[in-house]
Structure 1
Amino acid sequence: MRDKLAVNKAGNTPLYLQLANNLRDHINNGDFDPGSALPSERDLSEMMGMSRVTVRKGIDKLIEEGLLFRKQGSGTFVTRRIEAPGSSLNSFSDDARSRGENPGVIWMIKTYASPTDEEAAALKIASTAKVARLGRIRLSGGEPLAIEHAVVPAQFLPALNDLGDSLYEALSALGFRPVSGTQRIRAALATPTEAGMLCISENSEILRIERLTKLADGTPVEFTRSAYRGDRYDFVTDLHGPSDVR
């Protein structure tokens, strides 16, 4: 490990940048497995003959870049990028469980309201209709990964007091699980509020996703806008050529 991260103390490049550059190279080359823990800052300090302040500064730079992340009380880990299928209608909870992680939720809002004109048009309901407005921070393995704001016609859901953490499980229980939909993804920068919720730096890259899902008969059931961490997610879509190509 020490040889991999060796720095030139006589050089002009600050030591924390040398450490960050070396760590970055080895992470990108696959020398550190995704999800693996780095040695503690204390151990790195002793190993490299650097102050803990210098080591922390180098690690902080890679955390800002999204290559590393800290877990309170556990240490610093190599970020594991999540490949989410861009063409599958999966729930956040199901995706987390498929990776062997426990999904979690921090509720921001769970209330009944009237839809905005845009929401009413998307869901094809009257502006006087009753909708459930659901705002959540989505966690996987205790790490905040996304902010979701969903609007669902109230008729498709149980009473809000009976609504669990998974929206799709609640819809499925009443026979309203969506089977099709469209989503739009665009790159953006996190606002100060979003950055605080997701434990990332302000102006970090995020992916804004707008999703409209439908029942088998084409009835819209869910209109959701989300902000996903760009340092953690890759949305992957399989491509196929024209069916008549021989």
Structure 2
Amino acid sequence: MPATKRHAARTALPTPTAAQPGGTGRPAKGADAASPTAADRVSRLAPDPTADKPLYLQLVDNLSAAIAAGQWGPGETLPPERVLCEQLSVSRVTLRMAVDAMVEQGLVTRRQGAGTFVRPSIEHALSSLTSFSEVLRQQGHQPGTQWIEQLLRRAHGEEILRLGLSPDSMVASLTRLRSSDGKVMAYERAVVPARLVPDPKKIGDSLYAYLDARGSPVVRALQHFKAVSLNARLAQYLQMREGEAVLRVVRVGYARDGNAIELTDTFCHNDYYDFVAELRR
């Protein structure tokens, strides 16, 4: 899996739905404004009209603090706009300015026709070679893998060039959905020379852990980032709309001897990923 911030026989895979891994996940508790718990959570967000700070910035501060304190969890729906305006005694313009600011900060995300959600975020430093699964576990999340393809086949096209293979070389082709706590985070296609992965079905949730165990770790990698529009098939898997922009990450991993041994193409769900780079002088 690419280093990221906030990736045998063919197996059939049905289109993901809310009931499958990668579905909508936990219930949207925030929308139940009638419950005492929801009403109490909303009341704590109320801005102080006598304060010098603008009301919308107070709302940003209060809601950010509530999210940080776990009062609204990742993926949870915030109460409807009408409910928030009524209970907080603010105008829709004020509320929308606050939500716009939080969208810009990456704290919440809007989904047309569904509402505003607390944004789950996976951070992975761009300088790290830690696997996707390990990063999730370190951050208290449960990684998941839904396999689309695990098979051996002949290398072709860009794979031959990037991995320095002969035209008749065999590769392990590994295509899967990567998830965190049941939510689909990325669509990933990885290709590795067959000599390193003779039985693709033996790979669990981490390709890197498998390669480490075989004594062939990826010790260095180059990544290329590009914004692309989703086609209909990828949009279904990522539970997004066709034509939406996502980040495509092409990664080439190298072994200790300098040979390329991994080519991974990942399409990252734009609601969940944060790419972090630390710069020093």
* Number of residue pairs matched by the alignment: 209
CA contact (8 A) 1:207 1:227 kept: yes
SS in 2 for 1:100: coil
Whether 1:78 and 2:112 are equivalent positions in the alignment is: no
* Cα deviation 1:167-209 (Å, max 9, x = unaligned): 1111111111100010011222332222221122333331100
Paired residues of 1:187 and 1:207 also in contact (CA < 8 A) = yes
Alpha-carbon spacing, 1:186–1:45, altered in 2? closer, same or farther (3 Å): same
Q: Which structure carries more relative contact order (alpha carbon 8 Å, separation 6+)?
A: 2
Deviation at 1:220, TM superposition (A): 1.0
What is the CA-CA distance between 1:29 and the residue it aligns to? 6.3
Shift of 1:31: 4.2
- The answer to whether the 8 Å contact 1:206/1:231 transfers is no
Mapping 1:117-136, distance limit 5 Å = 117-136=157-176
| 1:1-246 paired onto structure 2 within 5 Å | 1-2=42-43, 4=45, 26=60, 30-33=64-67, 36-37=72-73, 48=86, 67-68=108-109, 77-241=117-281
Q: Which residue of 2 aligns with 1:12?
A: none
Q: TM-score, normalised by structure 1?
A: 0.72
The alpha carbon displacement at 1:47 in A equals 9.3
In the TM superposition, what is the alpha-carbon distance from 1:139 to its structure 2 partner? 0.5
| SS of residue in 2 equivalent to 1:193 | helix
Q: Secondary structure at the match of 2:64?
A: coil
* Residues 239 and 224 (structure 1), Cα distance of their counterparts in 2 relative to 1, 3 Å cut: same
* Structure 2: runs of 5 or more not aligned: 1-41, 48-55, 88-95
Aligned partner of 2:67: which letter? Answer: D
TM-score by length of 2: 0.64
Q: Percent identity?
A: 32
> Root-mean-square deviation (CA), in Å?
3.4
Q: Is the 8 A contact 1:151 1:222 kept in 2?
A: yes
Q: Deviations over 1:54-79 (max 9, x none)?
A: xxxx9xx99xx782489xxxxx8511
Change (3 A) 1:203 1:28: farther
- Distance in 1 between the 2:86 and 2:241 partners? 27
Does the Cα contact within 8 Å between 1:198 and 1:229 map onto a contact in 2? yes
